[in-house]
């Protein structure tokens, strides 16, 4: 057994080797014991959903390979797991990179106090945000509630994000024997149904895959990002969100590579993409300062809003069976790939909240289970934004018309047909609204509404007027 000092590097949402401050610090301190703890106990209602768990399974395998098979795996209350490690092993230090979910902040504060009381060197680092939430505030010291001043006056006027760190180099791994560690398979992250196999087939997972995806986006897509990102049929977005969420790539790596690239060569793309990265920062800023964001209306006047309780309608939305092709395509994309194009996310959210009058929590919960990039801050902030109840929210009268959105951003129905192939033989103009096609046209396309494709579950004009009436009552 080694006699050198042993320092734990606790991996969390930083499943990478490069630009990993905690791992670098642990490697500089002595032999490194890398661990991962699946803590559903403290996560409680915000334990990872099914899609995220499937991604995590593969990401942990990729990380373990990069760590030469030295990653030790545990499951349970992290405070208890760490207490057992401290009791059974001679540890010099315990290092990790910070997370910002309210339940993690509470838990980590307790763990840090326990470790310090046991005279174990304990340090945490920033590895997942460009600016710490407590470092950005208005002149009066209060948190920002509107994105543009948060970004322009807060972030861009603050210290520049740190440069990415070089990898630790040659790391000496601890050979301490630990009896109660598990294999990654023993975490049972993959669902018993084979659904995850189709989902994961659409992705390459892990740090190397993240770097390759970012490099491809930077070289081939960034220039046209500002325009192309609105068209779901195009490969015009980065699709980096799951890699960012699990920390397979850091925002510092993204920020500095884009910021240092030639802005002239890429037009408006870089500035617009960095602004989207800053929206992620804003979501964490809100979650840190307003930890009730995932569960309570940010704008309290929405507490009196009268939502509908329509389980059958909700299930039609979840399954992609609403009769509105752009809605159904988006929901089917989510189920099949664990992802949804951002423009379509806004359309399906508006439809659920405003046309269907479903509580935004219903959409938030479904996305939490089905998205591979399910991020507590971004998910909560985005659903409240769409509902009009959040910070810097879309006004209540912004109600997306799914037909007009589909016709504008997917004119030929290319995106629709990927996920609603039953509409393939319809003329392009009817793919967005098959209910307007004549019986003759529908028959020629092999479609009987209500059998081959759903009849619309609601009337857009009537439900829009209903939503406007209820929202106006809150003003």
Q: Which residues are catalytic?
A: 276, 279, 307, 342, 360, 383
Q: Tokens representing 1? A: 């057994």
| Run of H or E residues at 279 | helix 269-289
Longest CA–CA separation in the chain, Å: 82
**Phi–psi pair at 94, nearest 5 degrees:** -140, 115
How far from each other are the two terminal CA atoms of the chain, in whole angstroms? 69
| Run of H or E residues at 37 | strand 31-38
Query: Measured between alpha carbons, how far is 351 from 355 in angstroms, rounded to an integer?
Result: 5
Query: Measured between alpha carbons, how far is 13 from 36 in angstroms, rounded to an integer?
Result: 10
Query: Measured between alpha carbons, how far is 23 from 26 in angstroms, rounded to an integer?
Result: 5
Query: Measured between alpha carbons, how far is 313 from 332 in angstroms, rounded to an integer?
Result: 16
Asked if 42 contacts 77 with a C-beta cutoff of 8 angstroms, the reply is: yes
Query: Measured between alpha carbons, how far is 290 from 175 in angstroms, rounded to an integer?
Result: 43
Q: DSSP 3-state assignment of 7?
A: strand
Nearest to 163 by CA among 235, 241, 255: 255
Query: Measured between alpha carbons, how far is 274 from 254 in angstroms, rounded to an integer?
Result: 9
Q: Tokens representing 404? A: 């007009």
Asked if 26 contacts 167 with a C-beta cutoff of 8 angstroms, the reply is: no
Asked if 249 contacts 214 with a C-beta cutoff of 8 angstroms, the reply is: yes
């Amino acid at each position: 057994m080694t006699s050198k000092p042993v320092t734990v590097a606790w991996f969390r949402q930083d499943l990478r080797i490069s630009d990993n401050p905690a791992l670098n610090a642990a490697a500089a301190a002595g032999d490194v014991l890398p661990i991962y703890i699946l803590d559903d106990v403290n996560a409680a209602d915000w334990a990872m959903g099914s899609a995220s768990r499937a991604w995590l399974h593969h990401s942990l395998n990729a990380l373990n390979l990069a760590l030469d098979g030295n990653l030790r795996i545990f499951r349970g209350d992290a405070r208890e797991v760490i207490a057992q490690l401290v009791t059974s092993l001679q540890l010099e230090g315990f290092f990790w990179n910070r997370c910002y979910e309210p339940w993690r902040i509470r838990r980590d504060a307790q763990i840090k106090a326990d470790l310090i009381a046991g005279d174990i060197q304990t340090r945490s680092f920033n590895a997942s945000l460009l600016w710490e939430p407590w470092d950005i505030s208005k002149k009066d010291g209060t948190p920002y509630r509107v994105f543009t001043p948060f970004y322009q006056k807060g972030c861009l006027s603050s210290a520049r994000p740190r440069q990415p760190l070089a990898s630790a180099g040659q790391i000496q791994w601890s050979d301490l024997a630990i009896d109660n560690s598990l294999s990654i398979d023993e975490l049972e992250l993959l669902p018993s149904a084979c659904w995850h196999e189709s989902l994961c087939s659409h992705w390459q997972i892990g740090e190397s895959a993240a770097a390759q995806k970012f490099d491809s986006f930077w070289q081939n897509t960034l220039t046209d990002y500002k325009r192309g990102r609105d068209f779901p049929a195009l490969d015009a977005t980065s699709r980096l969100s799951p890699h960012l969420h699990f920390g397979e790539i850091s925002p510092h790596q993204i920020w500095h590579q884009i910021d240092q690239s030639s802005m002239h060569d890429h037009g408006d793309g870089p500035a617009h993409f960095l602004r989207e990265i800053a929206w992620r920062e804003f979501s964490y800023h809100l979650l840190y300062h307003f930890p009730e964001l995932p569960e309570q209306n940010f704008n309290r006047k929405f507490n009196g809003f009268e939502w509908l309780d329509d389980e059958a309608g909700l299930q039609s939305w979840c399954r992609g069976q609403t009769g509105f092709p752009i809605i159904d395509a988006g929901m089917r994309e989510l189920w099949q790939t664990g992802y949804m194009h951002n423009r379509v996310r806004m359309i399906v959210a508006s439809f659920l909240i405003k046309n269907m009058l479903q509580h935004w929590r219903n959409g938030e919960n479904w996305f939490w289970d089905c998205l591979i990039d399910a991020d507590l801050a971004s998910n909560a902030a985005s659903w409240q934004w769409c509902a009009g109840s959040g910070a810097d929210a879309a006004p209540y009268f912004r109600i997306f018309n799914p037909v007009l959105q589909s016709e504008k951003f997917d004119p030929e129905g290319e995106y629709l047909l990927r996920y609603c192939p039953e509409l393939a033989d319809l003329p392009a103009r009817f793919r967005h609204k098959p209910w307007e096609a004549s019986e003759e046209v529908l028959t020629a396309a092999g479609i009987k509404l209500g059998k081959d494709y759903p009849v619309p579950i609601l009337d857009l004009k009537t439900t829009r007027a209903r939503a406007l009436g209820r929202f106006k009552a809150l003003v």
